[in-house]
């Protein structure tokens, strides 16, 4: 049974100073703590709820769609062998964090009403194993990794050390944000080229270093 009010009396009938505040808080929260069985009949019906009143979902099973879910920083046709991914070569490596979609940059979430935001990004990443070896074996091996992070309004939401070789990845996080449009950025970073890595820059034999594909995102906004 729900407790609608609370009052604690001292001996002699003296009321605690906090009793008034406790009573007020109990009254304010009474409706929000009702379960469906205690609501009036037909109180919670789709006809009474506006679109996105409680939550909103954004999803893209192939992002960026223009590149079939692959990162759009990639070698052009003819620059790499025909049996290679159109991946990021050593020449194209930005050397730092880069947007998965450099064309659009951000994923805009319009009409966020304030509350909790959950963002999940998953896909596959391929790192050419040759890049972990050095050309003349004069240096220690230089393993390559693809790191991932998610930014919301250019503020870090979550980050993780990513994949090496050929693996599936999944990164997700959640946080609270105020009302207003939000901008989400999905970014990756490749381990820098080492001093003696195996690099070929003669077209059409450029070696693709990293390729990120099958990218998709799933975002839920839960409003207060």
Reference 121, options 67, 62, 178; nearest CA is 62
Residue 48, in any domain of the structure: no
User: Are 3 and 65 in a shared domain?
Assistant: no
Burial of 191 (C-beta count, 10 Å sphere; 0-12/13-18/19+): buried
The one-character DSSP state at 37 is: G
Q: H helices within the chain, ranges in order?
A: 19-29
Tell me: do 67 and 116 sit in the same domain.
yes
Check which CATH number belongs to the domain holding 199 and give it. 2.60.120
Q: Are residues 125 and 202 in the same domain?
A: yes
Are residue 129 and residue 101 in the same domain, yes or no?
Answer: yes
pLDDT tens for the chain, 224 residues long, are 444 455 555 555 555 666 656 655 655 555 555 565 666 666 666 666 677 777 889 999 999 888 788 888 877 776 777 777 778 887 888 888 999 888 877 999 998 888 899 999 999 998 887 776 666 666 666 677 889 999 999 999 999 988 778 889 999 999 999 999 999 999 999 887 777 777 777 777 777 788 899 999 999 998 86
How many Å apart are CA 216 and CA 204, to the nearest integer? 30
The total of structural domains in the chain comes to: 2
- For 77, the token pair is 């046709």
> 145, exposed or middle or buried, with CB in 10 Å at 0-12, 13-18, 19+?
middle
Domain contains 138: yes
d(CA 22, CA 196): 70
Whether residues 30 and 120 fall in one domain: no
Same domain membership, residue 163 and residue 109: yes
Q: Both 30 and 109 in a single domain?
A: no
Q: Which domain holds residue 34?
A: 1-43
Q: Which 3-state string (H, E, C) describes 69-96?
A: CCCCCCCCCCCCCCCCCCCEECCCCCCC
- Three-point CA angle 135, 163, 102, nearest 5°: 95
Which two tokens mark 121?
């990004």
What is the distance between the alpha carbons of residues 37 and 189, in angstroms, rounded to a whole number?
A: 51
Looking at the structure, do residues 62 and 144 belong to the same domain, yes or no? yes
Judge if 37 and 100 occupy the same domain. no
| Residues 32 and 86 reside in one and the same domain | no
């Amino acid at each position: 049974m729900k407790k609608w009010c609370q009052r604690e009396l001292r001996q002699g009938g003296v009321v605690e100073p906090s009793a008034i505040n406790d009573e007020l808080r109990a009254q304010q929260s009474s409706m929000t703590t009702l379960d469906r069985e205690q609501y009036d009949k037909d109180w919670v019906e789709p006809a009474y709820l506006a679109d996105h009143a409680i939550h909103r979902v954004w999803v893209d099973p192939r992002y960026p769609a223009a590149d079939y879910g692959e990162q759009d920083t990639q070698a052009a046709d003819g620059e790499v062998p025909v049996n290679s991914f159109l991946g990021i070569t050593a020449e194209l490596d930005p050397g730092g964090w880069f947007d998965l979609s450099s064309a659009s940059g951000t994923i805009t979430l319009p009409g966020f009403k304030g509350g909790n935001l959950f963002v999940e990004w998953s896909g596959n990443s391929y790192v050419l194993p040759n890049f972990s070896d050095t050309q003349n074996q004069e240096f220690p091996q230089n393993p390559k990794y693809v790191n991932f992070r998610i930014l919301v309004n250019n503020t870090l939401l979550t980050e993780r050390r990513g994949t090496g070789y050929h693996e599936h990845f999944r990164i997700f996080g959640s946080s609270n944000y105020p009302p207003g449009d939000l901008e989400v950025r999905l970014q990756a970073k490749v381990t820098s080229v080492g001093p003696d890595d195996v690099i070929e820059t003669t077209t059409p034999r450029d070696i693709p270093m990293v390729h990120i594909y099958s990218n998709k995102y799933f975002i839920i906004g839960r409003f207060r």
